[in-house]
Amino acid sequence: MLQGHRTWVFENKPVIISTGVVGGPFEAKGKIPEDFDTLHEDLWLGQDSYEKAHKILFEEACSRATEKAKLRKDDIQFVLAGDLINQITPTSFACRTLGTPYLGLFGACSTSMEGLALG
């Protein structure tokens, strides 16, 4: 995959084959709640920090996307992921729990577009 020092070459173009969309009470009250797979009433999901709750949201989204695509955990080679929390802590801990290698993205509000550009 790595060609040279900074270039990744993919045998096949990466594609989005599935999504897992998880949200909280703000998303539930928004204009498109039907577009979410799971909505939680408790923003903190019973956790003692938002970072821990965010980790759970990420894990749920990954699990849901994997299920919908009918993939096994072993089918996933790596994850491009990030979040808006300083030092992408929830994403790092979630990927560690999932046991999936990941490329951490830190672009603040541009993280989603950075992921699309890289993938």
Strands (E), 22-85: 22-23, 38-39, 79-82
Tell me phi and psi for residue 74, to 5 degrees.
-70, -15
What are the sequence ranges of the domains in the chain?
Answer: 2-118
pLDDT, average across residues 82-90 = 89
pLDDT digits (tens, 9 = 90+) for 29-39: 999 999 999 99
pLDDT digits (tens, 9 = 90+) for 65-78: 999 999 998 888 88
Structural class in CATH, domain 2-118: alpha beta
pTM as predicted: 0.86
Q: Which residues pair with 2 in a beta bridge?
A: 8
Q: How many Cβ atoms are within 10 Å of 99's Cβ, its own excluded?
A: 9
